[in-house]
Structure 1
Amino acid sequence: MSRNRLSLLLAVLAMAVVAVGGFFLAVQPQLAQTAAAHTQTASVEQTNDTSRSELARLREQAADLPAMKRELSTRATSVPDSARLSAFIDELNATAAAAGMQVSSFTASDATAYSPAVAAEPAAAGQGGATPSASPSATAGAAPSAPQAPSLVTDAAVTGQNFSVIPVTVAVDGSFDQALQFVKGVQSGDRLFLITTVSSAERSGDDGAASSSSSWTFGGSIYVLDRSPDAAADTAAAASTKG
């Protein structure tokens, strides 16, 4: 091989080495940085899209915030975070006065921890022995089936750690129509009062004769929901233990 050809070959080889080295030392880092920049840009765009969606959701909630605050205030009054028996008695007195009655007695028992209701197990098919087939005439005259009880609804956020029940009994004196008006007022009042028992006793007049007024006794429950952070933590711990 001549000297000129060898020099040319070495020059071409050197150029190739320089080109490859330039690619790895200059071009490749730039390409890597460009790819990283594209990836970062896509991630930022995705984050921005998520932020825009969250911002739109928060704006919608902010528009509903006044109504939500009013509803919260109503519910907090209906089921307060303490017994507040004095306020409840004042409400009973006002309701009775509006119905033309007066509260003759009021008693409240100690609060008890809430125990979630448990749905009854459905009866097994055929339990209790075989039932004879009804004749066509008997079927035609059979009484309609009993209405189905509403489905049981519970909330894991309401437990014995933060929810309590206070049994109360209130007695009022008045006529039947006045008692109906009193019950309607109590059921639509600020404080939730679930009436479970009703009894009445006819009152006698001053001369011993029967009068149109009766003594009405209503028994039921009012409720207290502890909204403190400690109660919420106890409820969460109880839920995790059950899980």
Structure 2
Amino acid sequence: MTRNRLNMLIAVLAMVVVALAGFFVGVQPHLAQAATDRDEQTSVDATNQTTAAELARLQERAKSLPALKAELAKLTASVPSSASMSSFYGSVDDVAARTGVKVSAITTSDAVAYTSPAAAAPATEDSTATDDPTATASAGPSAAATTATTDPSISGENFSAIPVSVSVDGSFDQALSFIGGLQDGARLFLVNTVTSSASQDSTDESATASTTWTFGGYVYVLTTDADTAAKG
């Protein structure tokens, strides 16, 4: 091999070495960075799509926000966070004035803490032998016990019932209109007893007998976490 050829081969090898060194030193890090950027861009795009979908969902839900606020206000008025009996008395007077009855008495008792209802006990059949052909028919059903479903967030710590008794004087139709109007009012009033009594004025036998209608039931109080925190 001539000296010129040897020099040329060395020069070519040097150029290859320089090219490879330039690739690994200058180009390859940029290619790796570009690949990393593409992966990050893909992740960012996926995050943006998820965020956009969530934003669209929230915007759609926001359209129903006024209706939800109105419903919340209605429910809060129905079962307030404090006894607020003065407002209940006011509603009783308002309904009485509209329906023509006279309120003769309103009584309330101390609030009773809520107690979660226990599951109903399963009915059992009488296993005692008998010749009575009606015994089987009169035995209780062997159905499984009914399980009461309650909300775990409702307890005796935050929910209570206030016994209330309202007596009014008036006709049957007036009393019916009164209790219907009271139960349609803002405050929830659950009636569980109704009694009536008639009285005659002993000094005027021709006078129409007056009927007193007494409605017994409960109004309710639900204290929220926010109310508890505010009091604390």
Same fold (TM over 0.5): yes
**2:226 alignment counterpart:** 229
- Cα distance in 2, alignment partners of residues 172 and 18 from structure 1: 108
Could you tell me which residue of structure 2 aligns to residue 76 of structure 1?
76
Shift of residue 130, structure 1, vs aligned partner: 7.1
The alignment partner of 1:30 has SS state of: helix
User: Which amino acid is the alignment partner of residue 218 of structure 1?
Assistant: F
SS at match of 1:48: helix
- Residue by residue over 1:117-156, the C-alpha shift from the partner in whole angstroms, topping out at 9 and shown as x without a partner, is 2332443xx5332799xx9xxx9xx9xx9xxxx9854323
Residue in 2 that maps onto 1:169: 165
Bigger CA drift: 13-22 or 57-66? 13-22
Note if contact 1:161-1:231 (Cα within 8 Å) is conserved in structure 2: no
Does residue 62 in structure 1 map to residue 62 in structure 2? yes
Partners of 1:163 and 1:38 in 2: CA distance: 57
Task: State the AA in 2 paired with 1:127.
Answer: E
Instruction: Indicate the structure (1 or 2) with the bigger Cα radius of gyration.
Output: 2
Q: Is the 8 A contact 1:162 1:232 kept in 2?
A: no
- Deviation digits for residues 160-194 of structure 1, max 9, x if unmatched? 23222211111111222222111211111110001
Higher mean C-alpha deviation, range 11-20 or range 168-177 = 11-20
In structure 2, what is the equivalent of residue 53 of structure 1? 53
Residue 29 of structure 1 corresponds to 29
**Aligned position for 2:125:** 127
| Residues 1:11 and 1:214: Cα distance change in structure 2 (over 3 Å) | same
Instruction: State how many pairs are aligned.
Output: 221
Give the partner amino acid of 1:128: D
Q: Which amino acid aligns with 1:226?
A: T
Name the CA distance, whole Å, in 1 between partners of 2:54 and 2:129: 61
Aligned to 1:215: 212
- Give the alignment's Cα RMSD to 1 decimal: 3.3
The whole-number CA distance in structure 1 between the counterparts of 2:107 and 2:152 is: 31
Structure 1: distance between partners of 2:6 and 2:41? 51
After TM superposition, the structure 1 = structure 2 runs for residues 3-14 of structure 1, keeping only pairs within 5 Å, are: 10-11=10-11, 13-14=13-14
Q: What is the Cα deviation at residue 42 of structure 1? A: 1.6
**Deviation by residue 1:186-227 (Cα, 9 ceiling, x = unmatched):** 111110001111122222224375944321111111111223
Contact 1:103 1:173 in 2 (8 A): yes
Structure 2, unaligned runs of 5 or more: none
Q: Match for residue 97 of structure 1?
A: 97
Contact 2:119 2:148 in 1 (8 A): yes
TM score, norm. by length of structure 1: 0.75
CA contact (8 A) 1:173 1:214 kept: yes
Q: Is the aligned partner of 1:199 residue 2:199?
A: no
- 1:12, distance to aligned residue in structure 2 (A): 5.2
Pair 1:160 & 2:139 matched: no
In 2, Cα distance between equivalents of 1:37 and 1:54:
25
1:52 shift after superposition:
1.6
Map of 1:239 onto structure 2: none
More displaced stretch, 20-29 vs 162-171: 20-29
| Percent of matched pairs sharing the same residue | 49
